[in-house]
Structure 1
Amino acid sequence: MRFDSVEYEVKGTTALVTLDEPSKLNALSPGIRSGLTTALAQADDDPAVRVIIITGAGEKSFCAGADISGFEFTTTYAKQFIDKVLDVLALPENTSKPVIAAVNGYAFGGGFEISIACDFVIASEQAKFGVPEIQLGLLPGFAIVRLAELVGRQMAKYLSMLGEPVSAQEAKELGLVLKVVPHEQLLEQAFALADKLASKPQMAIRYAKSVYNRELGGADVTYAKDVMPFLFLDEDTREGVTAFREKRKPEFK
């Protein structure tokens, strides 16, 4: 089954959701965003599904972040874009069933944020994680309100202010990844964890997720939605995005 740019398949009690635009490194295009929204809703509503796995198509990328090809430097566009994207990034958190990210390659920007919104992250040994938005004059709107809780305030600032990627093993040491596995075993290991979760009492599993996530969302995400659009008006953001499109180093003021 396919929802826009996302493949959806139920195997036993697990729904496998595959972001499927590998030629664009599975960036968060409108098709990926729409498809992921529909797929997670489908899985959450299906009583036969107990666990959800999200992965990326191809060998290189889980999800390489926002598709900036259509960026416009206006507050109206920025507000609409950020509202839509942040809502999609939070979907794994807001799904009632456990969600596993099977990270097969690049998890940058929005891809990184999808992974940390999942309940568990299993990474291929060739995966890389990072929030490079600072290179565009932007910030990771969802990660900036989640990272400090996951890795501590200092490391959260380091990752978001420098935008440098970390390896799968480094991400595990930071607490961003549960397990690093050989690339060819990624889905096998993800399904093994899914089967274990599916074998447990499901009401208890869902209540556990609900309780652990009870403080998430709310004012912090709303604040990010309010302040992020102003970055789209900054000259450095225009320069960062333009430089990225032109494949050159930005010259920030």
Structure 2
Amino acid sequence: MLAEPVAGIADVRLPLDAARRAVHEADESVRTLLAALPEPDRRSDTERTTAEQAKDRVRALRCAFLDTHVDAVYDELTSARTRYLRIDELAAAAAVRFPGLVPSRPDLDAERARPQSGKEGHEIDQGIFFSRVLGSPASGAHLLDAMLRPTARALELLPEYLETGRADLGPVRIRHDGGAARITMCGADCLNAEDARQADAMETAVDLALLDPRTQVGLLRGGVMSHPRYSGRRVFSAGINLKALHHGGIPLVDFLLKRELGYLHKILRGVLIDDPAQWRSRTVERPWVAAVDGFAIGGGTQLLLLFDHVLAAADSYFSLPAAQEGIIPGASNFRLGRSTGARLSRGLVLDSRRIRATEPEARLLADEVVEPEELDDAVERSLLRFRGTAVTANRRMLNLAEEPVDAFRRYMAEFALQQALRIHDEDVIGKVGRFCARGTVPS
């Protein structure tokens, strides 16, 4: 007879050490069960049901454990909040200190070797963990601060960037020119579709822009493409890399959460610096301008919601095809209504509506729409207008009023779990598989 979890809800609400053992024992019991079954994509309907019921039981225990002990767990992992661990570091530490609470490194390595349809779904347990950490006002606020700090890669590259004014980060490039940090997305063969590597490069570039005292304003624009359909043309962003998702290469922690809590949040809030001389503000911020060529699909449109000024070529368009893809479009559901109103935000997210830059509704997403040949000049005019300390101070106050940090934290707590569930749902797996089979690109 297959093993069943040995712990119950009462066991995981015991004092921390006893509850920790109960979670570990329950996890080991489920592992024994799963080891007796075929690989996930080879299971019969009955075997799949057996596996899912067992995983559901132990996940309920993890939720109850964290509902009781989340702040104690977080304090142990961060030495009473004296250490600032990024989400990948925090998840790795939790796997060691609290076995069975989140997947181990071997678990994740095994998952990454499988297509999305063949995974066990260990990232759902990471989603549970981060939903509870972010759901705690104390632990969640500390984690947000950890994610606003500069990355190690940015700090390493900063001296050379300050000297040369340039950095080639692979899929992203940055150069300083006349007070402006100009970031260019260079995913030439994939229409700037985002994956973990591109998101890491973007965060490094945003850090460099914010840490450079010469920077007065930041610019984000797509580079020139080599993709056959758009060869020689600039493109802003095709959103998430669905081919990577299909092949199991879009991780929850290292992309879906890190992207939102990392470079996107830094564009809005700035980078957090430990410097007593920075008593005027905990963060270094700059105004940001975005220029849209071609299209801003999915994550591309998500990005625009954070910018202080958005320009768009008249032949471009915007879309958030969440319903077509089956996933949650990041924090768009949190921010979009402020820009477009409730009805249009539902049309974009739920009905995958496409808005062309020449439509009246496009003015809710872009501040200026100009002819493609005029976009370069319009960008330069905007960069001049959005410089100055008064702009930075006022954008800070606008952002605090429009998006309180605590409201963002609560949204991300729910997003962490719901997105983890979505990326392992059969609906998403089927939709992404059909997309990859068609091999379609935006038109």
Deviation at 1:173, TM superposition (A): 4.2
Could you say which residue in structure 1 is the equivalent of 2:152?
none
Whole-angstrom CA distance in 1 between matches of 2:343 and 2:361? 17
Could you say which residue in structure 2 is the equivalent of 1:89?
264
Structure 1 residue 5 and structure 2 residue 194: aligned? no
Moved more, 99-108 or 172-181: 172-181
- Letter aligned with residue 94 of structure 1: R
Greater per-residue strand proportion: 1
The one of 7, 21, 38 equivalent to 2:204 is 38
Whole-angstrom CA distance in 2 between matches of 1:62 and 1:56? 4
Whole-angstrom CA distance in 2 between matches of 1:181 and 1:52? 20
- Letter aligned with residue 39 of structure 1: A
Structure 1 residue 19 and structure 2 residue 205: aligned? no
Alpha-carbon contact 1:27-1:66 (below 8 Å) kept: yes
CA 31–73 in structure 1, closer or farther in 2 if over 3 Å, else same: closer
Whole-angstrom CA distance in 2 between matches of 1:64 and 1:173? 18
Structure 1 residue 63 and structure 2 residue 233: aligned? no
Alpha-carbon contact 2:318-2:354 (below 8 Å) kept: yes
The one of 49, 65, 77 equivalent to 2:215 is 49
CA 55–65 in structure 1, closer or farther in 2 if over 3 Å, else same: same
Whole-angstrom CA distance in 1 between matches of 2:380 and 2:188? 22
Which 4+ stretches in 1 moved above 6 angstroms? none
- Letter aligned with residue 421 of structure 2: F
Unaligned runs of 5+ in 2: 1-165, 225-232, 271-284
Could you say which residue in structure 2 is the equivalent of 1:109?
298
Deviation at 1:24, TM superposition (A): 0.7
Q: In the TM superposition, what whole-angstrom CA distance separates every residue of 1:115-136 from its partner, at most 9, and x where no partner exists? A: 1111110001121101012112
Q: In the TM superposition, what whole-angstrom CA distance separates every residue of 1:69-126 from its partner, at most 9, and x where no partner exists? A: 232699x943543212323333321231000011111100111111111111000112
Percentage of identical aligned residues: 23
CA 156–105 in structure 1, closer or farther in 2 if over 3 Å, else same: same
CA 139–174 in structure 1, closer or farther in 2 if over 3 Å, else same: farther
Could you say which residue in structure 2 is the equivalent of 1:207?
393
Whole-angstrom CA distance in 1 between matches of 2:366 and 2:288? 13
Could you say which residue in structure 2 is the equivalent of 1:229?
420
Deviation at 1:229, TM superposition (A): 1.3
Structure 1 residue 148 and structure 2 residue 344: aligned? no
Could you say which residue in structure 1 is the equivalent of 2:318?
129
Could you say which residue in structure 2 is the equivalent of 1:238?
429
Count of residues in correspondence between the two structures: 245
- Letter aligned with residue 391 of structure 2: I
Alpha-carbon contact 1:93-1:119 (below 8 Å) kept: no
The one of 131, 141, 159 equivalent to 2:348 is 159
Q: In the TM superposition, what whole-angstrom CA distance separates every residue of 1:203-253 from its partner, at most 9, and x where no partner exists? A: x2222111111142322233222321111232211111101111189xxxx
- Letter aligned with residue 230 of structure 1: L
Alpha-carbon contact 1:90-1:114 (below 8 Å) kept: no
Whole-angstrom CA distance in 2 between matches of 1:149 and 1:72? 32
Whole-angstrom CA distance in 2 between matches of 1:248 and 1:236? 19
Greater per-residue helix proportion: 2
Alpha-carbon contact 2:337-2:345 (below 8 Å) kept: yes
- Letter aligned with residue 308 of structure 2: D
Structure 1 residue 119 and structure 2 residue 315: aligned? no
Moved more, 128-137 or 82-91: 82-91
Q: Secondary structure at the match of 1:16?
A: strand
The one of 157, 169, 177 equivalent to 2:366 is 177
Alpha-carbon contact 1:6-1:18 (below 8 Å) kept: yes
- Letter aligned with residue 35 of structure 1: A
Aligned counterparts, 1:182-193, within 5 A: 182-193=371-382
Q: Secondary structure at the match of 1:71?
A: helix
- Letter aligned with residue 162 of structure 1: D
Moved more, 88-97 or 35-44: 88-97
Q: In the TM superposition, what whole-angstrom CA distance separates every residue of 1:150-194 from its partner, at most 9, and x where no partner exists? A: 111111111100112111123754511100011122122112111
Alpha-carbon contact 1:104-1:127 (below 8 Å) kept: yes
CA 247–13 in structure 1, closer or farther in 2 if over 3 Å, else same: same
Higher Cα Rg: structure 1 or 2?
A: 2
Q: Secondary structure at the match of 1:218?
A: helix
Moved more, 24-33 or 124-133: 24-33
Please provide the CA RMSD for this pair. Answer: 2.2
Larger relative contact order (Cα-Cα within 8 Å, sequence gap ≥ 6): 1
Alpha-carbon contact 1:73-1:232 (below 8 Å) kept: no
Whole-angstrom CA distance in 2 between matches of 1:43 and 1:85? 17
Whole-angstrom CA distance in 2 between matches of 1:20 and 1:192? 23
Whole-angstrom CA distance in 1 between matches of 2:289 and 2:339? 16
Whole-angstrom CA distance in 2 between matches of 1:248 and 1:28? 17
